[in-house]
Amino acid sequence: MAKKISHLGIAVKDLAASEALFAILLGTDEVHHEVVEDQGVQIASFKIGDSIIELTAPISPDSPIATFLEKRGEGIHHIALEVDDVAAELERLKTKGIRLIDEAPRDGAHNMSIAFLHPKSTGGVLVELCEIKK
């Protein structure tokens, strides 16, 4: 069961330019930077209340974000829902007929375990499940 919206992922081509824009839009320059090598991305995140706006840019031309940008351009990439147990949620959703991208949790940004659900079974929306590592 989802506890809250963890973050909204936005695919961007130029992380520095997008970071500057969102700093103006959000009225803050407090930003968290991180690279997630196995996903081929670098991120700049802004905390807004209990949620995060995560700007995501590719660090390699074969990353999923690079492919997304090539096909669709910049914009909302995914919505992330925080859960207590990603593995248990994957099993629950699989039994309900939800198609999974990740069969098991993997490491993500912000010290989280993550897994993605396939947008073909979630109304065209890429959904990420995330769990804060204990």
What the chain holds in terms of domains, given with CATH numbers, is: 2-132 (3.10.180.10)
pLDDT attached to residue 56? 97
What is the per-residue pLDDT across 67-97, written as a single tens digit (0 to 9) for each? 999 999 999 999 999 999 999 999 999 999 9
Helix (H, G, I), strand (E, B) or coil at 102: coil
CA distance 25 to 22: 5
CA distance 84 to 82: 7
> Which whole-number Å values give the CA distances from 125 to 28, 76, 84, 101, 118, in the listed order?
28, 10, 21, 13, 8
Tell me how crowded residue 52 is: count the other CB atoms within 10 A of its CB.
19
Q: Taking the model in full, what pTM does it have?
A: 0.91
CA distance 77 to 65: 8
What is the per-residue pLDDT across 95-127, written as a single tens digit (0 to 9) for each? 999 999 999 999 999 899 999 999 999 999 999
Interval 53-73 mean pLDDT: 95
> Over the chain, what is the mean pLDDT?
95
pLDDT attached to residue 1? 84
Q: Is the pLDDT of residue 129 over 90?
A: yes
Q: Is the pLDDT of residue 130 over 90?
A: yes
